Amino acid sequence: MRKKLFIPGLLAVLTLGCLLIMPVMASRSQSAPQTIAPAIAPVIAQSPAPTSSPVPSATPSPVPTTSASLPNVVLLATGGTIAGTGATSTTTVGYQAAKLPVETLISAVPELKNIANITGEQVLQIASENMTVEGLLQIAKRVNEVLAQPEVSGVVITHGTDTLEETAYFLNLVTKSEKPVVVVGSMRPATALSADGPLNLYNAVAIAGSPEAVGKGVFVSLNDQISAAREVTKSNTTSLNTFQANDMGYLGYVELGKPYFYRMPIRKHTVATPFEVSALTTLPQVDIVYGYGSNRPAMFRAAIADGAKGIVYAGVGNGSISVQLEPDVIAASKKGIPIVRSSRAGAGRVVRNGEEKDDENGFIVADNLSPQKARLLLMLGLTITSDPQALQEMFYTY
Ligand code: SIN
């Protein structure tokens, strides 16, 4: 599934861009006529006519290989809207995510060659709502393999925005390197007017190649903003400004190919965690049960019956559990199934022994982790221990 492409120079980019984009164009032309956004258009416009041979016989000699003065950044593509195509340039919803290959993403931004030597690999090609535990592990293992190469400066992962924050936080917990890892997506498909993917990608590569980004954990960057993986969340269904770090704020901004940082993430990450995924093929099943008024225990019971090894309860307010649900939750905890109380409120801490008797019932609080991120930490924590106190310490540490 992996494809590699070193970008030696603009000429080679344009030639390869044509070869790789032609099948995409051919398949498009069989369906609806399509407008190609300006970011991709130059690659097509300047490319030679297609030939039946995969490699043109008179390929010009590639101009310079790589620049020793530039950082080496590896782009791991996983799909999403940043690789999406719509029927027209105004199709900003109802498009198809995860259509363009990594080579096209790179060749659509020739400016990348000014800031880094880029290598691209197609790790997955999915819409991010279809991300799985196996997919997370696959990305994490590849990130660790790539960053272990001394010549690599940093990694960029292109990803759908819907679960981008989850993959970013997972990588923040399991990456065994201080080198920068930037997870990037876009809110508009590559074919849209004012597509945000190309500049987001350029910014992400700039961060990944920057010495100032070393040792700060995994980043999420869209819309010229840089956020810490632990803190950021998608907050709006369609807005370009969707990624927000709520009370915590951004780590910085990226402008004109350079990141500007204003603070460090404090919670431990990457090389300072005990989580090791290299030998894992799956993770313990953890499900999220949502809290709401008139709560019924049906969903909680279903998760337990389905074999959940831990439950994250996305409670109301300060993680409160209704009297209708409480007996089931306490019974599961007493049977040794770790229960993490988080909040659906979107910001703030869930306070231990505040709304619930956590010590008495053996519950764990998520601190200020969102339910979806608490699930990832609990899954990883369960690879080490199921002791509630030890797990609680992890939620105060990572
Ligand atoms: C996805 O998450 O794959 C689709 C939505 C997006 O990338 O914005």
**Could you please report the per-residue DSSP string of 283-333?**
---EEEEE--TT--THHHHHHHHTT-SEEEEEEBTTTB--TTTHHHHHHHH
What is the rounded average pLDDT of the residues 271-291?
Answer: 98
144-201, pLDDT tens digit by residue?
999 999 999 999 999 999 999 999 999 999 999 999 999 999 999 999 999 999 999 9
Q: Return the SS3 of 343.
A: strand
Q: How many whole angstroms separate alpha carbon 118 and alpha carbon 171? A: 21
Sequence letter at residue 244: Q
pLDDT of residue 11 exceeding 60, the answer is no
Which sequence positions are flagged as catalytic? 81
Substitution candidate for ligand 1 out of 129, 157, 165, 222 with most atoms within 8 A of CB: 129
pLDDT tens readout for residues 58-103: 443 334 458 999 999 999 999 999 999 999 999 999 999 999 999 9
Q: 108 to each of 36, 43, 160, 358, how far by Cα in Å?
A: 11, 6, 18, 53
- What are the domain boundaries of the chain? 5-270, 285-397
Q: How many angstroms separate the CA atoms of 74 and 182, rounded?
A: 11
Give the nearest ligand 1 atom to 80 CA.
Answer: 3
Rounded percentage of the chain residues whose pLDDT exceeds 90: 83
Q: Which two tokens stand for residue 133?
A: 């535990």
Q: Best of 164, 200, 220 to mutate for ligand 1, by most ligand atoms within 8 A of CB?
A: 164
- For the record, the structure tokens of 179 come out as 């080198």
Contacts of 293 (CB under 8 A, 6+ apart): 316
Residues 6+ apart with CB under 8 A from 376: 166, 169, 170, 173
Distance 98 CA to ligand 1 centre (A): 8
Structural contact between residues 219 and 213, judged by C-beta atoms closer than 8 angstroms:
yes
Give residue 20 CA to ligand 1 midpoint distance, Å.
23
What's the whole-number average pLDDT of the chain?
Answer: 88
Q: What is the pTM of this model?
A: 0.86
pLDDT confidence tier of residue 1, bands split at 50, 70 and 90: very low
Rg (CA), the chain: 22
- What pLDDT score was predicted for residue 61? 37
Residue 156 makes CB contacts below 8 A (sequence gap 6+) with 73, 74, 75, 76, 181, 182, 183, 184, 201, 204, 205, 208
Residue 98 CA, closest ligand 1 atom number:
3
Could you please report the per-residue DSSP string of 169-187?
HHHHHH---SS-EEEE--S
CA distance 56 to 25: 19
Res 155: pLDDT: 98
- Asked if residues 282 and 272 have their Cβ atoms less than 8 Å apart, the reply is no
Determine the 3-state secondary structure of 377 from DSSP.
helix
Output the CA torsion sign for 393, 396, 397, 398.
Answer: positive
Give CB contacts under 8 A, 24+ apart, made by 13-16: 13/43, 13/106, 13/107, 13/110, 13/113, 14/43, 14/46, 14/47, 14/107, 14/110, 15/47, 15/48, 15/56, 15/59, 15/60, 16/103, 16/107
Ligand 1 centroid to 273 CA: how many Å? 29
The answer to whether domain 5-270 and domain 285-397 are alike in fold is: yes
b/e per residue, 190-214, with b = 16+ CB within 10 A? bbbeebbbbbbbbbbbbbbbbeebe
Pocket test of ligand 1: the residue of 162, 166, 187, 236 to mutate, having most ligand atoms within 8 Å of its CB, is: 162
CA of 338 from ligand 1 middle (Å) equals: 31
More confident call, 307 vs 10: 307
Q: Which residue's entry shows tokens 């807005």?
A: 239
Please answer whether residues 95 and 27 qualify as being in contact, where contact means their C-beta atoms are separated by less than 8 angstroms. Answer: no
Q: Which CATH superfamily is domain 5-270 in?
A: L-asparaginase, N-terminal domain (3.40.50.1170)
Whole-number pLDDT of residue 66 = 84
Atom of ligand 1 at shortest distance to CA of 84?
A: 7
pLDDT band at 373 (very low <50, low <70, confident <90, very high): very high
State the residue for tokens 């790789």. 20
- The enclosing H or E element of 104 equals helix 102-107
At the topology level of CATH, where does 285-397 sit? Rossmann fold (3.40.50)
Measured from CB, residues less than 6 Å from any atom of ligand 1 are 80-81, 97, 127-129, 160-162, 185, 187
Distances (CA, A) of 343 to 202, 304, 320, 340: 35, 20, 8, 10
Residue nearest to atom 7 of ligand 1 (CA): 160
Residues 278/284/285/286 CA torsion (nearest 10 deg):
-100
DSSP type of residue 219: E
What does the pLDDT read at residue 229?
98
